[in-house]
Amino acid sequence: MILAAGKGTRLEILTAARPKALLEINGITLLERAINQVLAAGVSTIIVNVHHFAEQVIQFLNQPKFSALDLYISDESNELLDTGGGILKARDYFIDSQSVLIHNVDIISDLNIASIINDFEGDEAMAWLLTQKRVSNRQLLFDPFEQLCGWKDKRIESYKWVDKPTKDYQEFSFSGIHLLKPALLAGLPVRKTSIIDLYLNLARHQQIRSKPIKTGFWFDLGKKSQIEEIEQFFKQRET
């Protein structure tokens, strides 16, 4: 599932008339880059959720070059459900799957997704949050067994805990990519919620683990100022 419903407000004028998913890096949209990334990992079915300028994303996906894909739209035009709620709304599309890869549309990396999917399907955990050791104001907190135990906003020293507060944890940054087994979401009502709050609640009774990753490159296109840097990087790689 590619999360492509966000408004992209931090990108200012760039998303005033189009969705973030259709911003281009050297002529290739973020959405197409994400599709190519997951297809290369052997993913057989792709779900894209839409809200902000939903009709533009749907029109883009109706192009002939995508016609051979097993592709579905989860339409949130009436209400943006946030990252967690969007996954809950779309679960009927993947309820019979062995596992689901969730990929933010604004993440660009060279991560070897295929090997991670294979490892995850052989693991007892119900979800893997792919994490990194990098500077970030917001950090996921994991106990010594790599189980999710909390979340921290360093700017204001604010915490959210799965259970009671603890000092025995490691801090990791979320990569914007995660995997889950559909049974994890069984019986949960569709509601507006962030993916972090959803996982914090689920971690009270389920194994939600950190999976540290290493990549040659990883970008989170969150701000207008980042586009030139990313374009220069890919111009050198793709020419």
Query: Span 206-233, mean pLDDT?
Result: 90
CATH number of 2-232: 3.90.550.10
Per-residue model confidence (pLDDT) at position 68:
92
pLDDT band at 227 (very low <50, low <70, confident <90, very high): confident
Average pLDDT of the segment spanning 19-33: 94
DSSP assignment of the chain: -EE-----GGGGGGGSSS-GGG-EETTEEHHHHHHHHHHHTT--EEEEEE-TTHHHHHHHHTSGGGTTSEEEEEE-SS---HHHHHHHHHGGGTTTSS-EEEEETTEEE---HHHHHHHHHTSS-SEEEEEE----SEEEEE-TTSBEEEEEETTTTEEEESSS--S--EEEEEEEEEEE-GGGGTTPPP----HHHHHHHHTTTS-EEEEE---S-EEE--STTHHHHHHHHHHHHH-
Is the pLDDT assigned to residue 71 strictly greater than 70? Answer: yes
Question: pLDDT > 70: what percent of the chain?
Answer: 100
Per-residue model confidence (pLDDT) at position 239: 62
Q: Where are the domains of the chain?
A: 2-232
